[in-house]
């Protein structure tokens, strides 16, 4: 299993409030694949958002179910803070932000 495989799986995990994938939102800060399993570092758009744990659980469930990882660790990170500059072009369009 490669990092790109995990990234592809994470593309299907959607923030249920915004209706945008967590990869498109720029929430994934890092993916590491090793003998021990998969480690994902991710953030949220707002600090203190109750959705955080939902998104992290969904990411973990998606990797376990579809990337067949032995173990998955999803870690919430707050540095650097999330910024709209991290949004993909599709996400910007969905939110109504200028694409450039």
Work out whether 59 is an interface residue with other proteins (CB under 8 A).
yes
Whole-angstrom CA distances from 80 to 7, 27, 62, 83, 94 are 20, 11, 25, 9, 23
Q: Is residue 50 within the footprint of other proteins (CB under 8 A)? A: yes
Based on the shown chain and the rule CB under 8 A, indicate whether residue 41 belongs to the binding site for other proteins. no
37-42 and 72-76 beta bridge pairing: parallel
Q: For binding to other proteins (CB under 8 A), which residues are involved?
A: 1, 5-6, 8-9, 11-14, 16-19, 21, 24, 44-46, 48-54, 56-62, 65-68, 74-76, 81-84, 87, 95-97
């Amino acid at each position: 299993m490669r990092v790109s495989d995990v990234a592809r799986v994470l593309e299907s995990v959607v923030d249920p409030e915004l209706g945008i994938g967590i990869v498109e939102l720029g929430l994934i800060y890092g993916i590491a694949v090793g003998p021990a399993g998969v480690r994902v570092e991710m953030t949220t758009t707002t600090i203190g958002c109750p959705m955080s744990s939902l998104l992290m659980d969904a990411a973990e469930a998606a990797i376990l179910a579809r990337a067949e990882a032995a173990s998955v660790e999803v870690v919430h990170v707050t540095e650097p803070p999330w910024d709209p500059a991290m949004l993909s072009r599709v996400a910007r369009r969905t939110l109504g932000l200028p694409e450039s």
